[in-house]
Amino acid sequence: MSLFLVGLFAFGYFASGEVVTADFLVPFPVALVSVAVAVASISAYLFAPSEKLAQITLAIYLGLSANVALLLILTHPINSPFIALWILVSVFAGLFGTRTLIGFLVGVNIYLVSQLFVFHQLDAQSDILIFVLAYEIPVLASWLIWHHKSHPDTQKDKAYSELVRELSQVANKSEIVINAINDGVVAVDSQGTIQLINPAAQSIIGWGKQDALKLDYKSVIKLLNKTGEAVNENTDPIQQVLRTNNPVTTNELQLETSSGKKLLVSVSASPVGQIGAGAIIVFRDITHEKEEERQQAEFISTASHEMRTPVATIEGYLGLALNPNTAAIDEKARDYLTKASASVKHLGNLFQDLLDISRVEDGRLKNNPKVVDLVAFVGEIVSTFDARAKEKGLVLMFKPTTQQNGIGHPLSPVYYVDVDNDHLREVVSNLIENAIKYTLKGNVTVDIIGDATHATLSVHDTGIGIPKEDQVHLFQKFYRVDNSDTRDIGGTGLGLYLCRRLVETMGGRLWLESLYGEGSTFLVEFTRLSHEEATRKIETTPADMM
């Protein structure tokens, strides 16, 4: 409409060829305001932010209405050929709410009163009738047209505004929480572009917020493996999450900061929404923590190593005292010395476990895999526990063995695995020893099953079982189930932790299945070798390593 008025002004100006005067069809002030309204409308359409569009639209509409009113005043409100423009403009007043309608009615009536009683421009009744029909009726019609439609829209607008307000409050709270977290938090979209980075992350990696946003995360979060090489798609936790939509947590990576400094970090990446939609990465600098762990492990290793010698000496002298060929003691003293010898052996085992754990944690534990027939190897270990099981009145069974004339024969198939024999012996011995220790009556069953690619060893007992809330902590260091069933049973809480670490060192997997009061089953899974592959490995192994 503004462009139409500008066009009429231009037509009148160029048609007459005269300087602009008040006699033109469209007066110059109206044309000037029309240009301003047209420019504002086009600018709002192209550049106005969506959240401010409603207010800007109302302002432009009011400017257009005022311009049309000025046009009518300058060209006589009753005889003006532009009355139709006012009707068209005022019909849309109701679209902007009740306040706008009331404002239009008040303005029209103030003008009507001023023309009647101040300026005496409307004398005839016909003028008044024309004024009411042309200026007031369209405003009332606007109310009728838009009232029923605007009411539900108003309710929707209120609901929408309320929702926006609540979401804004939630977003603000979330931002406050994220900014208060001491761990680094970074959010990326499906393309790996950084959408959010909290102050802790900025401090750790040395990137500013404005510099990091909208960049590919690989240029900001430079993850390295233990050897200092950049992670690839298979070892990058963020890529794994975007590709599989499964959370990934690791403590085995380094992070290179913007200054080139390398930090040991704990990284936890979690998916957002559907697969590939994005990810939240939380990371923490654990360099100091790892250094403290290294120092603790070094102290434990040194102390355990130094204490083994006096413990071994005490054990040796106790053995001599208990030997009737080397010492003569009464039964009461023998009972005391027997208990002391058992405690010293337990102490020696504890020191040995601590040494093994320190070697595992600082990477000094060697892993020398050899091909072994799992059934035959485990069968030999099981046989060494027969006497201990009979002492408790338990039945110890090795399922892959049948008895023929009192002689055990392993059943086919043969399960070949390539593992460190010493580590495997320690794991199996520990699991069987625990099963016997925590089983008051019934049996302990050792079994080996498998398929074409895996071999699984299981140690099942009919013992006290493990409560569900303790199962998730069972393989942690120094953790022991603390209840009335276990309080009188000795232990250090290191055996299962060491078993898990040894199994992982051999490339296997250890887990638990248990029902409290009904027994437990510990399972160890290794990759199975085919007969041909096992034969080839055995033939190529040096004789001194067999």
Instruction: For residue 55, list its beta bridge partners.
Output: none
What average pLDDT is seen over the chain? 80
> Where residue 489 falls among pLDDT bands split at 50, 70, 90?
low
Q: How do residues 416-450 score in pLDDT, each as one tens digit?
A: 999 999 899 999 999 999 899 888 889 999 999 98
Instruction: Name which of 4-13, 372-381, 523-532 the model is least confident about.
Output: 4-13
Dihedral sign (CA 68, 74, 78, 82): negative
pLDDT at 331 over 80: yes
Q: How many CA atoms lie within 13 A of 159 on its CB side?
A: 6
Which is more confidently placed, 234 or 45? Answer: 234
For strand 395-398 and strand 443-450, is the pairing parallel, antiparallel, or unpaired? parallel
Confidence grade of residue 24 (pLDDT, cut at 50, 70, 90) = very low
- The predicted pLDDT at position 172 comes to 64
Q: Peptide bond preceding 271: is omega within 30 degrees of 0, i.e. cis?
A: no
Are 20 and 8 spatial neighbours (Cβ–Cβ below 8 Å)?
A: no
CA–centroid distance for 381 within its chain: 44
Lowest mean pLDDT among 12-21, 284-293, 448-457: 12-21
Q: Which helix (H) or strand (E) covers residue 197, if one does?
A: strand 194-197
3-state secondary structure of 183: coil
CATH 3.40.50.1370 is the classification of domain 183-285: no
User: What per-residue confidence (pLDDT) applies to 291?
Assistant: 84
pLDDT digits (tens, 9 = 90+) for 71-93: 777 777 777 777 788 788 888 88
Nearest alpha carbon to residue 218 among 456, 207, 333: 207
- Strand-pairing partners, residue 420, are 369
CATH topology of domain 290-361: Helix Hairpins (1.10.287)
pLDDT of residue 154: 53
CB 199 within 8 A of CB 289: no
Question: CA 38, CA 92: separation in Å to the nearest integer?
Answer: 18
Using CA atoms, how far residue 226 sits from 69, 250, 262, 283, 464, in Å, is 78, 12, 11, 16, 42
Contact of 445 with 460, CB cutoff 8 Å? yes
What percent of the chain has a predicted confidence (pLDDT) above 90?
A: 21
**Nearest alpha carbon to residue 363 among 314, 297, 425, 423:** 297
Q: How confident is the model at residue 404, as a pLDDT?
A: 44
Render pLDDT for 389-418 as a digit per residue (tens, 0 to 9).
999 999 999 988 754 444 555 555 789 999
Cβ-in-10-Å burial (0-12, 13-18, 19+) of 237 comes to buried
Residue 384 is predicted with a pLDDT of 92
CB 278 within 8 A of CB 195: yes
pLDDT of 334 over the 60 cut: yes
User: If you average pLDDT over residues 269-273, what whole number do you get?
Assistant: 86
Return the pLDDT at 522.
Answer: 94
Q: What is the mean pLDDT of residues 117-136?
A: 69
Environment class of residue 495 by beta-carbon count within 10 Å: exposed (0-12), middle (13-18) or buried (19+)? buried
The residue behind tokens 């393309």 is 191
- Confidence label for 481 from pLDDT (cuts 50, 70 and 90): low
Q: What is the pLDDT of residue 487?
A: 47
User: Token pair 């020398």 is at which residue?
Assistant: 368
Q: Residue 528 has what pLDDT?
A: 93
* Cα R_g (the chain), whole angstroms: 44
Average pLDDT over residues 119-134: 69
Are residues 524 and 446 in contact, defined by beta-carbon separation less than 8 angstroms? no
Q: Where in the chain is the domain with CATH 3.30.450.20?
A: 183-285
| pLDDT above 50 (res 19) | no
Tell me the CATH class for 369-545: alpha beta
Note the pLDDT of residue 22. 47
- Does pLDDT of 459 surpass 90? yes
What pLDDT score was predicted for residue 155?
56
DSSP for 124-164, please give it.
Answer: SHHHHHHHIIIIIHHHHHHHHHHHHHHHHHHHHHHHHHHHH
What residues have CB less than 8 Å from 4, skipping those under 6 apart? none
Nearest CA-CA partner of 281 in 230, 227, 220: 220
pLDDT of residue 464: 85
Give residue 274's pLDDT.
77
List, by residue range, all CATH 1.10.287 domains of the chain.
290-361
Residue 265 pLDDT level (bands cut at 50, 70, 90): very high
Question: Residues of the chain with pLDDT > 70: what percent?
Answer: 83
Q: Report pLDDT digits (tens) over 153-204.
A: 455 556 656 666 665 666 566 667 777 788 899 999 888 899 888 899 999 9
Q: 461: pLDDT confidence band, cut at 50, 70 and 90? A: very high
Rounded Cα distance, 86 and 67, in Å: 10
- State whether the Cα torsion 273-276-278-281 is positive or negative: positive
Q: How confident is the model at residue 148 (pLDDT cuts 50, 70, 90)?
A: low
Identify the residue whose tokens are 């192994």: 541
